[in-house]
Amino acid sequence: MNRVAVTGSGTINSLGHSVKETLANMAEGLCGIRPLFLRDVDRLDIKIGGQVKDFDPTTVFNRQQLALYDRVTQFTLIAAKEAIKQSGIIFSGELAAKSGVVLGTAGGGVSTWDDNYRAVYEEGKNRVHPFVVPKLMNNAAASHVSMEYNLKGPSFTVSTACASSNHAMAQAFQMVRSGLSDVMVTGGSESMLCFGGVKAWEGLRVMSKDACRPFSANRNGMVQGEGAAIFVFENFDKAKKRGAKILAEVVGYAMSSDASDIVMPSKQGAARAIKGALNDARLNPEDVKYINAHGTGTAANDKTECAAVADVFGRHADSLMLSSTKSMHGHLIGGTGAVELLACIMAVKDGIIAPTIGYEEADPECALDVVPNQAREIEVDVALSNAFAFGGLNAVLAVRSV
């Protein structure tokens, strides 16, 4: 069993176009959720989201690339560039042959589906662009990362709704820990903020029209976000040997399935994943000081998640911090766990705990320290990142300071 280091991180999301900008804004408790700018927004009931701002893909990619890159692939490549550059790794020879990329996304190229359905249904066209399929497929982003960086080892995309990124990163972690690969590029991305993507979520009637206020008694639902976060997971000893800067150590994970309901979360399923991650990482509950919550801002999630944390941690639940950064960047669905891992790394590396903003009123059913509204400076050794998906599929990761 090898130890696993994080030696690179990159992101683009509604809080920033880099890790530095994102973390600075998380530490400030800034809100990236704003009025949506997208076609036919006037026909939507939900008109807010964590949209990536000031982003013009034509300044980053050329015409040929844009013909192949859905917005979700664009975000992924931008985040991957930052992460791999930070790691300082150039993939060649044997290293390239064994290194791969495992990413999470729930929807893949949603705007490509949306645009082309419009073309054939609404505009009555009988012809679509030749690259519609390679542009929209769920593995497109992973494949483009592999091509861009010469990653020739195990590469694929995991799709488990809101837990996609955590499941993907758990796979990458396992590969490095087991010695299958020395380096894996991992994380996730999502870009559903188009008319069809938002309309689909409206249907469930769980979206907020004004703000995402996890754990606050007056919360009224979730808010979608978009973007990507990518990491480089590397064999710890080899990273140390080459003098790489190690951001954090990934120490364990667990996955579980509720096997009960397609949308309602289960306390038992969530608790099994949290407990499983502690066991896998050989941690005692008291070791954990911070949990980045799934914290969607829906009644169903927030109550269940707090109950699961209380069950697993017992009395220690009252002395740990649990915050939901979705209050700032929105719910990136399949990409959310990746952006949220950034907050965990900030906690163990910089000792800054990102807050749950928009918190206005205590809820007795969520009576934990949710780090309301203001970031906190406190040394943290171990942090967990929770993801509990529709379909009852859960994945929890544990990271430690180095």
Partner 1 sequence: MDIGAKVIDIIAEQAILDPGDVTLESTLDSLGIDSMGLVESIFAIEEAFDIHVPFNANDPSDSEFNISSVSSIISGIEKLVAEKS
Measured on CA atoms in the order 304, 305, 308, 314, is the torsion positive or negative? negative
Q: Closest approach of Cβ 364 to partner 1, in Å?
A: 15
Q: Closest approach of Cβ 213 to partner 1, in Å?
A: 11
Catalytic residue among 17, 167, 329, 331: 331
* Contacting partner 1 within 274-303 (CB under 8 A): 298-300
The answer to whether residue 378 forms part of the interface with partner 1 (CB under 8 A) is no
Q: Closest approach of Cβ 299 to partner 1, in Å?
A: 5
Tokens standing for residue 189: 């991305």
The answer to whether residue 221 forms part of the interface with partner 1 (CB under 8 A) is yes
Tokens standing for residue 195: 């008319």
- SS3 (DSSP) at 254: strand
**Which of the ranges 31-39, 161-169, 256-264, 347-355 carries the binding residues for partner 1, by CB under 8 A?**
256-264
The answer to whether residue 326 forms part of the interface with partner 1 (CB under 8 A) is no
The answer to whether residue 203 forms part of the interface with partner 1 (CB under 8 A) is yes
Q: Where are the beta strands (DSSP E) in 115-219?
A: 156-158, 183-190
Angle at 65 between CA 341 and CA 91, to 5 degrees: 55
By beta-carbon proximity to partner 1, the closer residue of 313 and 359 is 359
Site map (CB under 8 A) of partner 1, residues 44-83, x = contact: -x--------------------------------------
Closest to 392 in 3D by CA, of 329, 310, 308:
308
Catalytic residue among 31, 162, 212, 306: 162
The answer to whether residue 219 forms part of the interface with partner 1 (CB under 8 A) is yes
Integer Cα distance of 384 and 397 in angstroms = 6
- SS3 (DSSP) at 149: helix
Q: How far is CA 50 from the centre of its chain?
A: 13
Q: Is 331 a catalytic residue?
A: yes
Q: How far is CA 288 from the centre of its chain?
A: 20
Q: Is 316 a catalytic residue?
A: no
Q: Among 43, 127, 205, 315, which residue sits at the site for partner 1 (rule: CB under 8 A)?
A: 205
Catalytic residue among 294, 329, 344, 366: 294
Q: Closest approach of Cβ 196 to partner 1, in Å?
A: 17
Tokens standing for residue 127: 């012809």
Q: Closest approach of Cβ 363 to partner 1, in Å?
A: 11
**8 Å CB contact between 259 and 244:** no
Integer Cα distance of 223 and 210 in angstroms = 9
Q: Among 38, 68, 180, 206, which residue sits at the site for partner 1 (rule: CB under 8 A)?
A: 206
Q: Closest approach of Cβ 162 to partner 1, in Å?
A: 16
**8 Å CB contact between 376 and 352:** yes
Residue 158's φ and ψ, nearest 5 degrees, are -110, 135
Q: Is 162 a catalytic residue?
A: yes
**Which of the ranges 142-150, 202-210, 282-290, 356-364 carries the binding residues for partner 1, by CB under 8 A?**
202-210
Closest to 54 in 3D by CA, of 77, 84, 32:
32
Catalytic amino acids? 162, 294, 331
Residues at the contact surface with partner 1, assessed by CB under 8 A = 45, 203-206, 219-221, 262-264, 298-300
